[in-house]
């Protein structure tokens, strides 16, 4: 008997298809000129443009992997301790990988510019692994760093790491992970590791009801309303709405911000982002709760603009705003 062909039950604008048997196809089906940005970049021990990369297993029991970006040091700086930037990638909790070119091109640049070690987490993806899986992976990576700081484990690539200056950074939905991992870390003893700061970039903060910016700002390759609705529908715990604390840390279901012990934050937003209204609402709520939070606004650009290598190369405005973003992050890290 011939088995019936599986049928797609959900499709998200070029990025993902879910089938009736539960399988997921994440092959890119959008414009072919964008394809190179979603291709993996192999790790390389040698320094390329001043950065070496290595994939390691951070948690043997779960198989959790991370990618380490190590900036090259001049011989006279060989004793310098380097801050750590723990990175959570975006993709609406449903797509993308730590080794995609779109992250490689910007996080090699950030590692070089800040002279910091970037560690990017290969998070589990929904719908196979619904939330809070990605947040658990982010927190596990932080606990791995704590075990290295305590000398319980060893990773030669991190021999120059300064565990007293660990920063969290995340793009889009990775920005949500920054908030929740930082909040969880505030309840734990991480010593001798110190969480020095959090940097959510264009976090996926939304409410169940559409905001004005969602209705009025232009949609882009990296964020459409279709992506917001469908990715979060596939990622949030079954039966949840966008008012869930993971996507709405300022909503009635979330813990009051005033109750959280958080490190200093640098919230990065783009003026043409569909999500800017809720992001600014988060900034105002953080201020009201007396949290140490700074705001960096990139003008004239949209969601995750800096990951779009084509725009960064071809559009002087996008290139200039990317440099401003990197400079702002560099200054924040220097100050903390």
Active-site residues, by number, are 172, 273, 303
Q: Return the beta strands (E) in 216-336 as ranges.
A: 265-270, 293-298
Strands 195-201 and 161-171: parallel
Query: How far from chain centre, in Å, is Cα 280?
Result: 18
Q: How many residues does the chain have?
A: 336
Question: Phi/psi of residue 152, each to 5°?
Answer: -80, -25
Which tokens in the block code for residue 213?
A: 């910016």
The per-residue b/e assignment along 73-98, b for 16 or more CB within 10 angstroms, e otherwise, is eeeeeeeeebbbbbbbbbbbbbbbbb
DSSP code of 81? -
> What is the gyration radius of the CA atoms in the chain, in angstroms?
19
Question: Phi/psi of residue 84, each to 5°?
Answer: -110, 135
Orientation of helix 173-185 relative to helix 133-149, angle to 10°: 50
Which sign, positive or negative, has the C-alpha torsion 226, 227, 228, 232? positive
91: left (phi over 0), alpha (psi -120 to 50) or beta: left
Which residue is associated with the tokens 């220097």? 334
Q: Return the beta strands (E) in the chain as ranges.
A: 8-12, 16-19, 24-25, 51-59, 64-71, 82-88, 117-121, 161-171, 195-201, 265-270, 293-298
Contact 231, 303 (CB under 8 A): no
């Amino acid at each position: 008997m011939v088995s019936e062909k599986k049928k797609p039950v959900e499709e998200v604008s070029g990025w993902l298809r879910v089938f009736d048997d539960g399988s997921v196809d994440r092959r890119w089906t959008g414009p072919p000129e964008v394809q190179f940005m979603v291709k993996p970049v192999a790790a390389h021990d040698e320094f390329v443009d001043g950065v070496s990369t290595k994939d390691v297993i951070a948690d043997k029991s779960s198989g959790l992997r991370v990618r380490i970006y190590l900036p090259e040091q001049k011989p006279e700086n060989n004793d310098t301790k380097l801050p750590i930037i723990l990175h959570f990638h975006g993709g609406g909790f449903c797509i993308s990988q730590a080794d995609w070119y779109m992250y490689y091109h910007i996080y090699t640049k950030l590692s070089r510019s800040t002279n910091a070690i970037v560690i990017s987490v290969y998070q589990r993806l929904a719908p196979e692994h619904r939330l809070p899986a990605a947040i658990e992976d982010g927190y596990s990576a932080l606990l791995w760093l704590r075990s290295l700081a305590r000398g319980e484990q060893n990773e030669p690539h991190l021999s120059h790491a300064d565990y007293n200056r660990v920063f969290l950074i995340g793009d889009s939905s990775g920005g949500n992970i920054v908030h929740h991992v930082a909040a969880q870390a505030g309840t734990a003893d991480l010593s001798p590791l110190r969480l020095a700061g959090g940097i959510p970039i264009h976090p996926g903060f939304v409410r169940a009801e559409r905001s004005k910016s969602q209705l009025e700002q232009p949609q882009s390759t990296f964020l459409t309303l279709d992506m917001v609705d469908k990715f979060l529908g596939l990622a949030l715990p079954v039966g949840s709405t966008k008012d869930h604390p993971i996507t709405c840390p300022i909503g009635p279901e979330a813990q009051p911000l005033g109750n959280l012990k958080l490190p200093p934050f640098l919230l990065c937003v783009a003026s043409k982002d569909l999500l800017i209204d809720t992001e600014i609402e988060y900034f105002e709520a953080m201020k009201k709760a007396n949290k140490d939070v700074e705001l960096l606004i990139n003008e004239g650009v949209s969601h995750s603009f800096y990951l779009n290598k084509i725009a960064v190369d071809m559009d002087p405005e996008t290139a200039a705003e990317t440099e401003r973003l990197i400079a702002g992050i560099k200054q924040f890290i220097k100050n903390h």
